[in-house]
Structure 1
Amino acid sequence: MASITAPGIGSGLDIQSIVSKLMAIERQPLQRLQQKQSQLETQISAYGKLSSTISTFQSAMEALGSFDALRVFSTNTSNPDVIDLTATSSADLGTFGVEVVRLAEKHKTSSSEVLNTATFGGAAGDSLSIQVGSVATDTITVDMSTAMTLQDIRDAINNDTANPGVQATVINGDNGNQKLILTATRSGSEGALTFSYGGSIASTTLNMQTLNNIGGDINLLNSEFNVDGYNITRQSNNVSDVISGVTLNLVNADPGNTYTVEINRDLESVEESVQAFADAFNELRSSIKSLRKGELEADSSLLSIERRVFSVLNTPATGGAFSVLSDVGLNMQKDGTMLLAKSDLQSALQTNFDGVAELFASDTDGFAKRLVDLADNLLASDGLLETRTDGLEARIDIVVNRQDAFLRNLDAVEARYRAQFSALDALVGQLQGTGQFLTSQLAQLPGANS
């Protein structure tokens, strides 16, 4: 039934205005609940920002938290068009002279030129076998007991799921002629193709001939180069087993000319990572300071995080050449920020690189390693941040449920007020009518007007 919202019909009471003002008072607890929900949501958002800042802090620590991350090398070559190189964290430092005598090639063979309608085989036992390299089991056999064109042979080779490493192509020339080209998929002598035949198929049937300029010596498919006068051959042009931790990329042959390659520590990259360490710490501390003055004011979790970070920073490393961050130029300022003295860091890196690496990345008490572990703990599903966020979300659920219950009760309260004031209006109207009647009767009594 619709609520009565018109002014009182008995006494003229403004029921709508009275009920509206009373309901505004009744809704005040709801407004407080809504404000509480907004406050809790703001705190959850603040924890999200803090989590993001700690994650960024963790990434900066990880760049210094392992020996592999710190052992970064720069490489240089005097002629990258002939020889290039890359280095891993296990590279040997040094300068070497490299001469590229010959590049490794993939063995390539070609059949004689035949008409595109020509067929081969067709008798029982006819076959073509291709061995790749020196291992007899790395062989593919094409059954030619049914007559086959070059296209058929090509498809049989390429579609064989056990193909050991040979790619077939048909080249179409003039006047309807074509050739079958067979190419090893790996370079060097271990990719060399050897042919054998069965039935009526003979070496002269397809007349496969090597296209590489090796004069019948498959070892000339290997790369040849020398390092500091030491002559070396390999199966490919990407060589990672000559200089420890270094891959030599042979680009072009240039026999008779020697070029210089260098492997050095990339100290500039390490300096950038240490600067990022200081920047990430300062950003984390600034974020905590801002949250303590704002969304998470008086939240003890922030103080706990800050104390745990400073506990790591104030606990010296043991057993290495350096024990505290100031030994490598990271100094705490009076305002609690961290400042990098680059000259001190550069000196430490140049005199004792391994000592610097140990200070940050030691598994037992390296500063970056310990801070990475701390961030892992804080960001874990059962860590401080997630636990606090879960608690706030649970409180929001309670507040929302109370709001829902309150809203349901408000409807009943408003209906009760309307019923009470409608009854009051009717009663006042009756009393006014009675008063008017009595006044009229009294006026008619003898002597009433004298």
Structure 2
Amino acid sequence: MAISSTASAGVGGWDYTDLLNGMAANEQLRLNPYTTLQTSCKNKVSAWGTISSLMTNLQSSVKKLNGEAFNTMKVSTNTAFTATATDSAIADTHAVTVVQLAAAHKLKTDAFDSADKQLGTSTNGGTRTITISQGDGKKLTVDLKDDETSLNQIASAINKQNADQGGSVSASVQRDGSGQYQLMLSSKKTGTDGEMSISVMGDDSLGNILNTSNGGKVPGEAGSDGDKMTVVSVAQDAKLSVDGIDYTRSSNNISDIITGVTLNLNAKSKTDSDPEQLTLTVDTSAIKTTLQDFVKQYNALISETTTNSKYVAPSKDGDTSSGGKSGALMGDSTLRGLVSDLRSAANGSYGSSSLSQLGITIDSQSGQMSLDESKLDKAIADNPGDISKMFQGSGTSAGLATTLGSIVTKYLGDTDTKTQGIIKSATDDLNTQLKNVSEQITKTQTLIDSKVELLRSQYANADSLFNQMNNLSNTLTSMFSKL
């Protein structure tokens, strides 16, 4: 707490400002132990945050080595369909024939000269209701007033109610080749699940325009006399054959036939050709890419732990600038345990395999991994199954991925099981210390400020008293000189 330079001159002309400032600076030294502890705790929390982030990165890589990396499939290129595979797919070949694509139902009204002309019958303020039913049982209801029966108003009302009711229908007004207007209704669902049936209650005139009970009129075909709207596109399901078995689905995106595979149907297969072959093969490049990332993430974590655990001896004068600073977590038992667990797992044997057989060696001093890619390529080409067993385990024997995953969970915790990790406990303790030391700093600063203010007040009072005595002395001297 600095004293203002505008303070009075002081006792007998003596300026006590510098003295008070010096005393205030000396009092501030009482805060040093607390601020040092505060800085230390903040650095430790920050260090654990960085380490936790790097452990999360390693965990992501380890999870891939526990499944996805060894189950990534290459999918053949086909004409009538495309396919995508998840890590649950199995390497195999399937014969696929696309017989028919799924299509969405679409209807149109007759043509009218105006899109704004009222087409319904006046009911003297009453309403009429349009109901659009679909093959999956869902219904969309639209109420219209007497002055809301033009093509544009009907389309707008259907779209609004569709949004409000979560329907699967869209409406629009289009012009035909002669410039007249037609209302178009389209199902947002493909297949017979989306087939529309329209009925109008309370307005026969509008019903004679929209009513559809048999899927719509098909030009040139009989059997749809009760339909007033015309079919633009027939609602139809997809039909295909997979390995000689026939299937019918409402969508062209099919994921429930081949495990882990989604078929996206694009076109009908040629009728004069054999079924197309869908081939799924293990993508060994995914194994290599994941192992490269694993080495990268492991090294980044080990490097960070080394930085935070190192000790740098200060020079004789206490200066450490030339050699850097000691790590924020130097001597921390939790960090030592983490590093020991990681290095023990990485150097272990799993079944008859170890990382060295994949071309991954570990420096005994730094703990850093080095990857020989040519040796890794050969190991992957010779027997990717053995690599999979090494990481994923076999029978009751845990693999490296499982072991490392358990270590990460031990220190980071698990949100699914609501398990608190060791690092969370450590940072909670540090944050408690930070809270306590912050409170202590505030209290100590208040005491320092009070003491300095008391001294300033005492000096000011002494100065005032001296000035009073000096004035009295001058007065007496003047009086005596006149006697």
**Taking structure 1 as the reference length, what is the TM-score of the superposition?**
0.71
Asked if 1:280 corresponds to 2:297, the answer is yes
Whether the aligned pair in 2 keeps the contact of 1:112 and 1:206 (CA below 8 Å) is: no
Asked if 1:236 corresponds to 2:251, the answer is yes
CA distance 1:273–1:9, change in 2 (3 Å): same
Measure the CA separation in 2 of the matches of 1:384 and 1:365: 22
Asked if 1:192 corresponds to 2:199, the answer is no
Give the letter aligned to residue 293 of structure 2: A
CA distance 1:111–1:19, change in 2 (3 Å): closer
Measure the CA separation in 1 of the matches of 2:187 and 2:437: 72
CA distance 1:270–1:420, change in 2 (3 Å): same
Residues 69-88 of structure 1 mapped to structure 2, 5 A cutoff: 70-79=70-79, 82-88=80-86
SS in 1 for 2:84: strand
In structure 1, the residue matched to 2:391 is 360
Residues 263-302 of structure 1 mapped to structure 2, 5 A cutoff: 263-293=280-310, 294=326, 295-302=328-335
SS in 2 for 1:186: strand
In structure 2, the residue matched to 1:90 is 88
Measure the CA separation in 2 of the matches of 1:74 and 1:168: 42
CA distance 1:173–1:421, change in 2 (3 Å): closer
CA distance 1:145–1:287, change in 2 (3 Å): closer
In structure 2, the residue matched to 1:436 is none
CA distance 1:418–1:106, change in 2 (3 Å): closer
In structure 1, the residue matched to 2:53 is 52
Give the letter aligned to residue 395 of structure 1: Q
CA distance 1:4–1:327, change in 2 (3 Å): same
Measure the CA separation in 2 of the matches of 1:194 and 1:29: 85
In structure 1, the residue matched to 2:363 is 333
Q: CA deviation at 1:343?
A: 4.7
In structure 2, the residue matched to 1:132 is 134
CA distance 1:206–1:341, change in 2 (3 Å): same
Measure the CA separation in 1 of the matches of 2:263 and 2:256: 9
Measure the CA separation in 1 of the matches of 2:32 and 2:144: 89
CA distance 1:89–1:48, change in 2 (3 Å): closer
SS in 2 for 1:264: strand
Whether the aligned pair in 1 keeps the contact of 2:237 and 2:250 (CA below 8 Å) is: yes
Measure the CA separation in 2 of the matches of 1:127 and 1:5: 92
Q: CA deviation at 1:368?
A: 2.0
CA distance 1:376–1:197, change in 2 (3 Å): same
CA distance 1:21–1:144, change in 2 (3 Å): closer
Give the letter aligned to residue 364 of structure 2: K
Q: After the TM superposition, which of the residue ranges 276-285 and 172-181 deviates more from structure 2?
A: 172-181
In structure 2, the residue matched to 1:181 is 184
Percent of residue pairs identical: 26
Asked if 1:384 corresponds to 2:387, the answer is no
Measure the CA separation in 1 of the matches of 2:63 and 2:226: 64
Whether the aligned pair in 1 keeps the contact of 2:347 and 2:362 (CA below 8 Å) is: no
Whether the aligned pair in 2 keeps the contact of 1:130 and 1:196 (CA below 8 Å) is: yes
SS in 2 for 1:378: helix
In structure 2, the residue matched to 1:310 is 343
Q: CA deviation at 1:168?
A: 3.6
Asked if 1:251 corresponds to 2:266, the answer is yes
Measure the CA separation in 2 of the matches of 1:390 and 1:59: 25
Give the letter aligned to residue 87 of structure 1: A
Measure the CA separation in 2 of the matches of 1:263 and 1:154: 47
Give the letter aligned to residue 72 of structure 2: V
Q: CA deviation at 1:87?
A: 0.8
SS in 2 for 1:182: strand
Residues 157-168 of structure 1 mapped to structure 2, 5 A cutoff: 158=159, 159=161, 165-168=168-171
In structure 1, the residue matched to 2:105 is 107
Give the letter aligned to residue 58 of structure 2: F
Q: CA deviation at 1:90?
A: 2.0
In structure 2, the residue matched to 1:375 is 408
Q: CA deviation at 1:78?
A: 4.8
Give the length in aligned residue pairs: 411
Q: CA deviation at 1:24?
A: 4.8
Q: After the TM superposition, which of the residue ranges 42-51 and 409-418 deviates more from structure 2?
A: 409-418
Whether the aligned pair in 1 keeps the contact of 2:360 and 2:371 (CA below 8 Å) is: yes
Give the letter aligned to residue 44 of structure 1: V
CA distance 1:208–1:18, change in 2 (3 Å): closer
Unaligned 5+ residue runs, structure 2? 209-223, 311-325, 414-418, 470-483
Measure the CA separation in 2 of the matches of 1:99 and 1:304: 58
Q: CA deviation at 1:41?
A: 2.7
Whether the aligned pair in 2 keeps the contact of 1:92 and 1:243 (CA below 8 Å) is: no
Per-residue displacement from partner, 1:99-133 (whole Å, max 9, x unpaired)?
55543211223232244447357799x98776533
Give the letter aligned to residue 391 of structure 2: F
CA distance 1:292–1:91, change in 2 (3 Å): same
Measure the CA separation in 2 of the matches of 1:181 and 1:140: 16
In structure 1, the residue matched to 2:478 is none
Give the letter aligned to residue 331 of structure 1: T
Measure the CA separation in 1 of the matches of 2:113 and 2:432: 81
Give the letter aligned to residue 71 of structure 2: R
Measure the CA separation in 1 of the matches of 2:122 and 2:442: 87
Asked if 1:170 corresponds to 2:168, the answer is no
Measure the CA separation in 2 of the matches of 1:296 and 1:142: 68
CA distance 1:225–1:407, change in 2 (3 Å): closer
Measure the CA separation in 1 of the matches of 2:25 and 2:139: 91
Measure the CA separation in 2 of the matches of 1:24 and 1:131: 84
Whether the aligned pair in 2 keeps the contact of 1:58 and 1:375 (CA below 8 Å) is: yes
Q: CA deviation at 1:77?
A: 0.7
Residues 430-445 of structure 1 mapped to structure 2, 5 A cutoff: none
Measure the CA separation in 1 of the matches of 2:153 and 2:459: 99
Unaligned 5+ residue runs, structure 1? 431-450
Pick 1 or 2: higher relative contact order, CA cutoff 8 A, min separation 6. 1
Per-residue displacement from partner, 1:197-227 (whole Å, max 9, x unpaired)?
8896676686323223x7xxx6xx3334555
